[in-house]
Amino acid sequence: MIYGLYNYWVVIVLMMAGFYCVIARANLIKKLIGLSIFQTSVFLLFISMGKKAGGTAPILIEGAEDVIYSNPLPHVLILTAIVVGVATTAVGLALVVRINEEFGTIEADEILEMEGEAKLKSWRDNVD
Protein backbone atom coordinates (compact mmCIF):
# COMPACT_ATOMS: atom_id res chain seq x y z
CA MET A 1 0.00 0.00 0.00
CA ILE A 2 2.58 2.57 1.02
CA TYR A 3 5.04 1.47 -1.70
CA GLY A 4 2.91 3.02 -4.43
CA LEU A 5 3.05 6.42 -2.76
CA TYR A 6 6.77 7.13 -3.15
CA ASN A 7 6.09 9.95 -5.60
CA TYR A 8 4.00 11.79 -3.05
CA TRP A 9 6.58 11.33 -0.29
CA VAL A 10 9.25 12.75 -2.60
CA VAL A 11 6.94 15.68 -3.37
CA ILE A 12 6.44 16.39 0.34
CA VAL A 13 10.18 16.20 1.11
CA LEU A 14 11.12 18.46 -1.81
CA MET A 15 8.35 20.92 -1.00
CA MET A 16 9.40 21.24 2.64
CA ALA A 17 13.10 21.52 1.70
CA GLY A 18 12.35 24.30 -0.78
CA PHE A 19 10.07 26.08 1.67
CA TYR A 20 12.75 25.87 4.38
CA CYS A 21 15.35 27.38 2.03
CA VAL A 22 13.06 30.29 1.22
CA ILE A 23 12.16 30.99 4.87
CA ALA A 24 15.43 30.29 6.68
CA ARG A 25 18.06 31.72 4.34
CA ALA A 26 18.93 35.39 3.98
CA ASN A 27 21.00 34.93 0.82
CA LEU A 28 18.93 35.85 -2.24
CA ILE A 29 20.54 33.19 -4.46
CA LYS A 30 19.69 30.49 -1.89
CA LYS A 31 16.12 31.79 -1.79
CA LEU A 32 15.88 31.43 -5.58
CA ILE A 33 17.25 27.89 -5.36
CA GLY A 34 14.63 27.11 -2.70
CA LEU A 35 11.89 28.46 -4.94
CA SER A 36 13.14 26.27 -7.79
CA ILE A 37 13.12 23.18 -5.57
CA PHE A 38 9.59 24.01 -4.40
CA GLN A 39 8.50 24.51 -8.00
CA THR A 40 9.98 21.14 -8.99
CA SER A 41 7.97 19.43 -6.26
CA VAL A 42 4.78 20.94 -7.67
CA PHE A 43 5.72 19.63 -11.13
CA LEU A 44 6.20 16.14 -9.73
CA LEU A 45 2.87 16.34 -7.91
CA PHE A 46 0.93 17.20 -11.07
CA ILE A 47 2.70 14.57 -13.16
CA SER A 48 2.08 11.93 -10.48
CA MET A 49 -1.63 12.76 -10.42
CA GLY A 50 -1.86 12.44 -14.22
CA LYS A 51 -0.57 8.86 -14.35
CA LYS A 52 -2.90 5.88 -14.02
CA ALA A 53 -1.72 2.40 -13.09
CA GLY A 54 -1.68 0.35 -16.28
CA GLY A 55 -2.53 3.38 -18.40
CA THR A 56 -1.01 3.98 -21.80
CA ALA A 57 -0.52 7.01 -23.99
CA PRO A 58 -3.83 8.33 -25.35
CA ILE A 59 -3.41 6.95 -28.85
CA LEU A 60 -6.55 5.38 -30.29
CA ILE A 61 -6.11 1.82 -31.51
CA GLU A 62 -8.72 0.18 -33.70
CA GLY A 63 -10.34 -2.83 -32.07
CA ALA A 64 -9.25 -2.00 -28.52
CA GLU A 65 -12.25 -0.88 -26.47
CA ASP A 66 -11.14 -1.59 -22.91
CA VAL A 67 -7.83 0.28 -22.93
CA ILE A 68 -6.98 2.52 -19.96
CA TYR A 69 -5.49 5.86 -20.96
CA SER A 70 -3.39 8.22 -18.86
CA ASN A 71 -4.43 11.85 -18.83
CA PRO A 72 -2.01 13.91 -21.00
CA LEU A 73 -3.22 17.31 -19.79
CA PRO A 74 -1.02 17.52 -16.63
CA HIS A 75 2.06 16.67 -18.68
CA VAL A 76 1.29 19.40 -21.21
CA LEU A 77 0.63 21.95 -18.48
CA ILE A 78 3.89 21.08 -16.75
CA LEU A 79 5.87 21.60 -19.96
CA THR A 80 4.49 25.13 -20.07
CA ALA A 81 5.15 25.62 -16.35
CA ILE A 82 8.77 24.53 -16.76
CA VAL A 83 9.34 27.18 -19.43
CA VAL A 84 7.70 29.84 -17.27
CA GLY A 85 9.73 28.68 -14.24
CA VAL A 86 13.03 28.95 -16.12
CA ALA A 87 12.12 32.44 -17.33
CA THR A 88 11.09 33.52 -13.83
CA THR A 89 14.33 32.18 -12.37
CA ALA A 90 16.30 34.07 -15.01
CA VAL A 91 14.51 37.31 -14.13
CA GLY A 92 15.14 36.65 -10.43
CA LEU A 93 18.85 36.11 -11.05
CA ALA A 94 18.99 39.32 -13.10
CA LEU A 95 17.37 41.19 -10.21
CA VAL A 96 19.88 39.69 -7.76
CA VAL A 97 22.74 40.90 -9.98
CA ARG A 98 21.22 44.39 -10.06
CA ILE A 99 20.69 44.37 -6.27
CA ASN A 100 24.31 43.32 -5.79
CA GLU A 101 25.46 46.22 -7.99
CA GLU A 102 23.34 48.68 -6.02
CA PHE A 103 23.97 47.51 -2.45
CA GLY A 104 27.17 45.47 -2.71
CA THR A 105 25.57 42.44 -1.05
CA ILE A 106 22.93 39.79 -1.66
CA GLU A 107 22.08 39.17 1.99
CA ALA A 108 18.49 40.25 2.65
CA ASP A 109 19.18 41.34 6.24
CA GLU A 110 22.00 43.68 5.20
CA ILE A 111 19.92 45.15 2.38
CA LEU A 112 17.01 45.88 4.72
CA GLU A 113 19.39 47.48 7.20
CA MET A 114 20.87 49.72 4.49
CA GLU A 115 17.38 50.66 3.30
CA GLY A 116 16.35 51.57 6.85
CA GLU A 117 19.42 53.75 7.33
CA ALA A 118 18.80 55.50 4.00
CA LYS A 119 15.16 56.22 4.92
CA LEU A 120 16.18 57.52 8.34
CA LYS A 121 18.79 59.82 6.79
CA SER A 122 16.25 61.06 4.23
CA TRP A 123 13.73 61.73 7.00
CA ARG A 124 16.32 63.66 9.07
CA ASP A 125 17.26 65.77 6.04
CA ASN A 126 13.61 66.66 5.46
CA VAL A 127 13.07 67.57 9.12
CA ASP A 128 16.09 69.87 9.25
Task: Write the CATH number of the domain with boundaries 2-50+69-127.
Answer: 1.10.287.3510
**What confidence score (pLDDT) does residue 2 get?**
61
**What confidence score (pLDDT) does residue 90 get?**
97
**What confidence score (pLDDT) does residue 75 get?**
83
- Give the pLDDT confidence of 63-119 residue by residue, as tens digits: 777 888 878 888 888 999 999 999 999 999 999 999 999 999 999 999 989 888 888
- Give the pLDDT confidence of 12-54 residue by residue, as tens digits: 999 999 999 999 999 999 999 999 999 999 999 988 887 777 7
Residue (of 127, 128, 125, 100) closest to 114 by Cα position: 100
**What confidence score (pLDDT) does residue 128 get?**
64
Spatial separation of the C-alpha atoms in residues 67 and 60, rounded to whole Å: 9
- Tell me how long the chain is: 128
Spatial separation of the C-alpha atoms in residues 75 and 68, rounded to whole Å: 17
